Amino acid sequence: MRMRNKYRKPTTFRCNAGSRCSTSAVVWSLVGCFFMFQLYTLVRQKDRLGGEIQFRVSNHPQFHELEQVEEENIQIPPPRKRSPRAAKRKPRRPTTLIDEFLDENSQIRHVFFPQKLAIDPMKDTANDSYYFYPGRIWLDTDGNPIQAHGGGILFDEKSRTYYWYGEYKDGPTYHAHKRGVARVDIIGVGCYSSNDLWKWKNEGLVLAAEKANETHDLHKSNVLERPKVIYNDHTGKYVMWMHIDDVNYTKASVGVAISDYPTGPFDYLYSKRPHEFDSRDMTIFKDDDGVAYLIYSSDDNSELHIGPLTEDYLDVTNTVRRILVGQHREAPALFKHEGTYYMITSGCTGWAPNEALGHAAESVMGPWEFMGNPCAGGNKVSRLTTFFAQSTSVLPVPGFTGSFIFMADRWNPADLRDSRYVWLPLIVGGPADRPLDYNFGFPLWSRVSIYWHRKWKLPQGWSGWKRI
Ligand SMILES: *[C@@H]1O[C@H](CO)[C@@H](O)[C@H](O)[C@H]1NC(C)=O
Ligand SMILES: *[C@@H]1O[C@H](CO)[C@@H](O)[C@H](O)[C@H]1NC(C)=O
Ligand SMILES: *[C@@H]1O[C@H](CO)[C@@H](O)[C@H](O)[C@H]1NC(C)=O
């Protein structure tokens, strides 16, 4: 459940001029206030819930099944047999599940990157229909693996169709130089359309790389990451924002492109450093009132910045706030539920997975508060690595308030085109598991939970299914 955050500001004690406050009086007053507050909160909870203190788990019984915590035990294989001489030279350190994940020759590679099994909407009829299998290869309606990494989904009201945009990475992975990170040349932004979020039709490259002009931002030797598209109700244009960089990530800019149609082609307009700050991982968020925001990792990824876009969504305004200062978060994904803003971020460890964190705010411009790790189920290591993936976007499920799809990328740095999608149910409800300091141990926000499931599907009655 959610409580309005009225008691944010710590009360300051002032004494009347002339009178002297003894320290013990202040302490006892504080203690008194503390108990009064506890009592008040309790009574309020009772009022709301008809005398029973409990936290609502979910708005929808259909989602109950998805809120079951599903454990997954992944066995680390026994160490390979090595010759006694080799063992003597270099004693083997104990391998962790993360080591196994990062080792492309791991014996349990298939657990993280299954090769044979794929989600194939053209073949998986009857029993397997509409099931998401996080981590499996996902084929489009032509039978090719979907190429929409670091992506996001736009629901187009006009055509009542979902469009999934992301990095098209179907090229060789290589290192530009000795200390360079694994990369694929820019190919462009892929776009896929769907009515049910499961069967995706390839709409082609909606923004393609520049092959000849070496000084162009989109020249294949550069970097284009995390493209996101929103629709502008005033101008009737589809606007794409993306991270634009050079091979060494020193340009640290955002790029903007525009189209009359969700399926492009998008015209690339320009790139810039927003508010004159460096900008790497980023996303955009369109609020209910039509105001859109750019959120980006800045100051060498040590903090995030957030600021509104201009009315046409083609630029940033002069307003910007620094949030999560010194926290080193990236891969932001924003969403809103019952007037509260939520965000999932990852840590900064390159292609390697790390722990997700949830954040909440009353105002999108902040202050943003920590909510802890939202991941539930799986196993300890997978919870600490966002199920071996990194956030990219959070999509509301229409007709199910409080229910979302958490979209993440399971990067495969050995072959980036083979990176997988990890989609899981994200549910807002129940008490936050990390109470904030200023509210005396009572959670002010609802908990955000991302539930691990080996396979799952959206519940019957989801509005997308009615059209099938
Ligand atoms: C679907 O499931 C039923 C019952 O579990 C099984 O008998 C049937 O063979 C399955 N069909 C397919 C196409 O897998
Ligand atoms: C190459 O790209 C740059 C930057 O976008 C542009 O200014 C220039 O006109 C382009 N050159 C050609 C030959 O298209
Ligand atoms: C990237 O860094 C490498 C090694 O430091 C350097 O050789 C190369 O010229 C740089 N490339 C660009 C485009 O900055």
Phi and psi at 457, nearest 5°, equal -140, 165
Mutating to test ligand 2, I would choose from 207, 211, 213 the residue with most ligand atoms within 8 A of its C-beta, which is 213
Sign, CA torsion 212/214/217/219 = positive
Hey, what domains does the chain have and what are their CATH numbers? 61-72+103-465 (2.115.10.20)
Ligand nearest, relative to CA of residue 215: 2
Q: Is the CB of 181 inside a 6 Å radius of any atom of ligand 3?
A: no
For residues 7 and 27, what is the distance between their CA atoms, to the nearest angstrom?
Answer: 19
Q: Is the pLDDT of residue 399 over 60?
A: yes
pLDDT digits (tens, 9 = 90+) for 252-303: 999 999 999 999 999 999 999 999 999 999 999 999 999 999 999 999 999 9
What is the pTM assigned to this prediction?
A: 0.85
Nearest to 388 by CA among 93, 114, 16, 78: 114
Q: How is residue 89 written in tokens?
A: 């030279």
**Strand partners for 271:** 255
Q: Is the CB of 246 inside a 6 Å radius of any atom of ligand 3?
A: yes
For residues 240 and 229, what is the distance between their CA atoms, to the nearest angstrom?
Answer: 4
Q: Separation of 161 CA from ligand 2 center, angstroms? A: 35
For residues 279 and 250, what is the distance between their CA atoms, to the nearest angstrom?
Answer: 10
Contacts of 347 (CB under 8 A, 6+ apart): 328, 329, 330, 354, 355
Quick one: 261 exposed, middle or buried, by C-beta within 10 A (0-12, 13-18, 19+)?
middle
Q: Is the pLDDT of residue 112 over 50?
A: yes
State residue 429's pLDDT score: 84
Q: Which atom of ligand 1 is nearest to the CA of 127?
A: 1
Contacts of 195 (CB under 8 A, 6+ apart): 160, 161, 162, 464, 467, 468
Question: What angle is formed at CA 280 by the lines to CA 202 and CA 189, rounded to 5 degrees?
Answer: 15
Total Cβ atoms within 10 A of residue 32: 10
Lowest mean pLDDT among 48-57, 325-334, 398-407, 438-447: 48-57
Q: Which atom of ligand 1 is nearest to the CA of 126?
A: 13
Structure-token match 């969403």, residue found: 335
Ligand nearest, relative to CA of residue 213: 2
For residues 124 and 428, what is the distance between their CA atoms, to the nearest angstrom?
Answer: 31
Q: Are the C-beta atoms of 216 and 224 separated by less than 8 Å?
A: no
Q: How is residue 448 written in tokens?
A: 């955000």
Residue 442, phi-psi category: left (phi > 0), alpha (psi -120 to 50), beta (remainder): beta
State residue 462's pLDDT score: 74
Q: Are the C-beta atoms of 202 and 141 separated by less than 8 Å?
A: yes
Nearest to 288 by CA among 233, 343, 245, 237: 233
State residue 95's pLDDT score: 80
SS3 298: strand
Strands lying side by side in the sheet with 446-451: 375-376, 446-451, 420-431, 403-410, 390-396
Q: Which atom of ligand 1 is nearest to the CA of 128?
A: 14
Nearest to 166 by CA among 330, 427, 411: 411
% of residues, the chain, pLDDT over 70: 80
Q: Which atom of ligand 2 is nearest to the CA of 217?
A: 5
pLDDT band at 398, cuts 50/70/90?
confident
Q: Are the C-beta atoms of 268 and 217 separated by less than 8 Å?
A: yes
Q: Is the pLDDT of residue 49 over 60?
A: no
Contacts of 36 (CB under 8 A, 6+ apart): none
User: C-alpha 413: how far from its chain's center?
Assistant: 19
For residues 244 and 227, what is the distance between their CA atoms, to the nearest angstrom?
Answer: 10
Average pLDDT value for the chain: 86
More confident: 108 or 34:
108
Q: Is the CB of 201 inside a 6 Å radius of any atom of ligand 2?
A: no
Mutating to test ligand 1, I would choose from 127, 128, 130 the residue with most ligand atoms within 8 A of its C-beta, which is 127
For residues 459 and 467, what is the distance between their CA atoms, to the nearest angstrom?
Answer: 15
Indicate the residue type of 210: E
Q: Are the C-beta atoms of 173 and 183 separated by less than 8 Å?
A: yes
Q: Separation of 177 CA from ligand 3 center, angstroms? A: 8
Q: Is the pLDDT of residue 41 over 60?
A: no
Mutating to test ligand 2, I would choose from 207, 211, 216, 267 the residue with most ligand atoms within 8 A of its C-beta, which is 216
Torsion of CA 31, 32, 38, 44, to 10 degrees: -160
Q: Separation of 212 CA from ligand 2 center, angstroms? A: 10
CA distances from 238 to 241, 256, 390, 421 (A): 10, 11, 26, 24
Residue 153, phi-psi category: left (phi > 0), alpha (psi -120 to 50), beta (remainder): beta
CA distances from 223 to 176, 184, 214, 253, 282 (A): 12, 8, 13, 10, 13
Residue nearest to atom 12 of ligand 2 (CA): 213
Q: Which atom of ligand 3 is nearest to the CA of 179?
A: 4
Strands (E), 83-160: 118-119, 137-138, 149-156
For residues 151 and 393, what is the distance between their CA atoms, to the nearest angstrom?
Answer: 7
pLDDT band at 432, cuts 50/70/90?
low
Q: Is the CB of 247 inside a 6 Å radius of any atom of ligand 3?
A: yes
Q: Separation of 207 CA from ligand 2 center, angstroms? A: 16
For residues 116 and 199, what is the distance between their CA atoms, to the nearest angstrom?
Answer: 19
Q: Is the CB of 131 inside a 6 Å radius of any atom of ligand 1?
A: no
Mutating to test ligand 2, I would choose from 215, 219, 246 the residue with most ligand atoms within 8 A of its C-beta, which is 215
Q: Which atom of ligand 3 is nearest to the CA of 178?
A: 4
Indicate the residue type of 441: G
Lowest mean pLDDT among 49-53, 130-134, 218-222, 265-269: 49-53
Phi and psi at 27, nearest 5°, equal -60, -45
